[in-house]
A and B are shown apart, each in its own frame.
Chain A
């Protein structure tokens, strides 16, 4: 009696599961996931390329803002002020539409326009992080290098750089995570990143894919946080 009961219950459980499965398949869960992965690809591409160009560019801007040649220093500082002081979304629109409106040039490809904006924007933020990092290195480190006969470049590359990296990893990590989320802004010029993909299902009467995108961001940032933590640990062998 009990056995049959159990079997009945077992059958109904598997039925329920099968029904749920069907429901998911019918609600095009797979299709949505696939489309969001497509969007994710664009997001990751934008993320990686932005870092690739803006990390070195930020260092150059940082040197510019510390340059002894006053006019250059002011130009650089003004650019950094404008870029950091205005909304990124507006900057994307300006880079995409601006050249056409002002000079009648052809529009840049959407993704390129988005990438250019992100590289400039993040390079400016990074330059400030580099600047803070460089200023926090004790002067004695430079002086020790100098009295040991090192050139300025040798002091920077062999003495200061790794200490600088150690100091800037935490603030850089914050920027990286912000960057992941900022990539969503490029939908204003219809670059098909995750949110755009999720939103596209609203036309078909589906609201949930939009919220489902959050999972992608959370996983992405979760992995990123782990990687940054690992990197920080790697540099734990010395104190400065």
Chain B
């Protein structure tokens, strides 16, 4: 059974119909790349999946559990909402690190706040906080930034900031990690360090959805590729199918624009 099942997601902003019915599914441990020209609705789709936007229709199931259903009238508790929220991680194009915290605190903050809701928090506070710190240090180490623990975001390069953002999302153990053009705000020479971290995650079987314009990278890292155009999925398949023998004319044009 797929870990993620997305059915008939539609979203309009006022009169603008941005998503016109999106369906797809993703298997555990696989990497899905979403490609498509700007304005085709990729960001909006990720935002609907991560609850930053509420879709008008459709439903999302993660691990067999419904996390969003436009038909449902059940009111979720705060705890349930948070659990659903944390199943999905999101890495933003613009990093969105918290500027007043150093690298370690950026990664620890959400975990520390969540820990306060634990029933044993008062009794085992020191232990819990030490665990969080140890876990965070390991994850920062895994993105190669253990020498920057005490640095503030303004002291880091864009590539380093994005790696912190990835660590911050990973630290909450999401079932699926989404990336919205993670390298689009970076200088070309810095993109490879971020892509290397994502590839490394892929080898460790992290389930990921990556919106990207890095076609070579997408072809290399993905198990599945979706091409979106004007709010619909025009074509989807393996990287070989999508990149080497595209059927859809819009997709052919889109890929052609990268060959120049």
Contact = CB atoms under 8 A, between A and B. Distances in A.
A238 B113 contact: no
A220 to B, nearest CB: 31
A218 B38 CA distance: 57
Contact of B92 (A144, A150, A237, A239): A144
Given A140-B94, A143-B92, A237-B152, A148 B99 contact: no
A141 B98 contact: yes
A21 B90 CA distance: 75
Interface in B152-173: 152-154, 168-169, 172
A239 B78 contact: no
B78 A151 contact: yes
A238 B85 contact: no
Interface residues of B, number: 27
B168 A238 contact: no
A147 interface: yes
Nearest to B94: A140
Given A239-B99, A240-B100, A147 B50 contact: yes
A84 interface: no
B82 A149 contact: yes
A150 B96 contact: no
A137 to B, nearest CB: 10
A163 B100 contact: yes
A189 interface: no
Interface string A198-240: 0000000000000000000000000000000000000001111
A146 interface: yes
A194 to B, nearest CB: 39
A87 interface: no
The DSSP consensus for interface residues of chain A is helix
A238 B153 contact: yes
B99 A149 contact: no
Interface string A37-70: 0000000000000000000000000000000000
B73 to A, nearest CB: 21
A144 B98 CA distance: 9
B94 A147 contact: no
Contact of B99 (A151, A154, A240): A240
A146 B96 CA distance: 12
Contacts of B113: 149-150, 154, 158
Contacts of B110: 145, 148-150
Contacts of B152: 237-238
A145 B99 CA distance: 13
Contacts of A151: 78
Nearest to B97: A144
B172 A149 contact: yes
Contacts of A162: 100
Contacts of A138: 94, 96
A148 B112 CA distance: 11
A168 interface: no
B109 interface: yes
Nearest to A147: B90
B182 interface: no
A238 B99 contact: yes
Interface string B38-51: 00000000000011
A158 B114 CA distance: 13
A177 interface: no
Interface of B: 50-52, 78, 82, 85-86, 88-90, 92, 94, 96-100, 109-110, 113-114, 152-154, 168-169, 172
Interface of A: 138, 140-141, 143-151, 154, 158-159, 162-163, 166, 237-240
Given A140-B96, A149-B172, 17 more contacts: A138-B96, A141-B96, A146-B85, A147-B50, A147-B52, A147-B85, A147-B88, A147-B89, A147-B90, A148-B109, A148-B172, A149-B86, A149-B114, A150-B113, A237-B152, A238-B99, A239-B99
23 contacts: A140-B92, A143-B92, A144-B92, A144-B97, A144-B98, A145-B110, A146-B85, A147-B51, A147-B52, A147-B85, A148-B169, A149-B85, A149-B110, A149-B113, A149-B114, A150-B110, A154-B113, A163-B100, A166-B100, A238-B99, A238-B100, A238-B152, A240-B100
